[in-house]
Amino acid sequence: MISNYANRPSNTLLLAMPGTLWQSIDTLLEPVELPVRFFVEKPMAPIDYVYFPVSGIASTVVSAGRDKRAEVGIFGREGMSGIPVVMGGDRSLQECFFQVAGKGVRVESDALRKAMDDAPALRVFFLRFVQAMLMQTSQTAVSNAQSVLEERLCRWLLMSHDRLGQDELELTHEFLSIMLGVRRAGVTSALHILEGRHLIKSTRGLVVILDREGLEAGAGGSYGQPESEYERLIGYSLRGT
């Protein structure tokens, strides 16, 4: 169960954290704006801060040569950046940046390392989120290999809906093409198909969810397992919140 503490930011990880662990990082956090294209991690660059969004969506993107980029994971108000820091490292091979603007709080990586060293249970708590993210990236790999484009699009729209908590999603075709690892023309065609099923309404830079249950059915089983794992590990339902 989530503890209701008025002074905690509305980030699920921070809200779900036991009081003794919260006290170990409470004074270390500072508010921050998270605009579109704000990078929280760059390949092989030291990670100076770890971010906990309360709104917006960040993407973890892998590059494999020029013009070969694909998203392998997203997080928002349910999560955090800085997984390498939690795992004992200081940098990432991937880039992580905000695709949908938001706000949040951040902590200096060195300060978080010391807090986790002083309170090992804090690292264990964050490792639960790492496990949930591993489940998400594994599901992404399976979906990219086995699911048709419309199913993958349904999944990503549901994931974005979970994190933004509203039916109007400011998602550009460029963002969706990176998320799905396809050309923009493929995204446009898939959006038209979902519109034809009356699941969404799509305009330039905006997707409106009309039928969430229909999207879940349209995802063809590619959505749900990582969300259930997050709920099991963190104690909070991510779906449709």
pLDDT at 65: 66
Reported as a single tens digit per residue, the pLDDT across 109-123 is 999 999 999 999 999
Q: Is 165 left (phi over 0), alpha (psi -120 to 50) or beta?
A: left
- Cα dihedral 80/21/105/170 (nearest 10): 40
pLDDT at 6: 60
Pairing status of strand 200-203 against strand 206-209? antiparallel
Centre a 10 Å sphere on the Cβ of residue 174 and count the other Cβ atoms it contains: 12
Distances in Å between the Cα of 17 and the Cα atoms of 22, 141, 157 are 6, 30, 28
pLDDT at 240: 65
Distances in Å between the Cα of 110 and the Cα atoms of 47, 117, 215 are 9, 11, 42
Domain 148-228, second-level architecture: Orthogonal Bundle (1.10)
Distances in Å between the Cα of 129 and the Cα atoms of 17, 132, 149, 197, 206 are 12, 5, 28, 35, 29
Which H or E run includes 73? strand 69-75
pLDDT at 2: 44
Domain 12-142, second-level architecture: Sandwich (2.60)
| CATH 1.10.10.10 domain position(s) in the chain | 148-228
84/133 Cα distance (integer angstroms): 12
pLDDT at 140: 87
Contact 40, 58 (CB under 8 A): yes
pLDDT at 3: 45
pLDDT at 13: 95
Contact 218, 199 (CB under 8 A): yes
| CATH 2.60.120.10 domain position(s) in the chain | 12-142
Give the pTM.
Answer: 0.91
Question: Which residues in the chain come in under a pLDDT of 70?
Answer: 1-6, 65-68, 240-241
Contact 40, 76 (CB under 8 A): no
105/118 Cα distance (integer angstroms): 21
199/219 Cα distance (integer angstroms): 12
Burial letters 14-36, b for 16+ CB under 10 A, else e: bbbbeeebbebbeeebeebebee
pLDDT at 58: 95
Which H or E run includes 60? strand 57-63
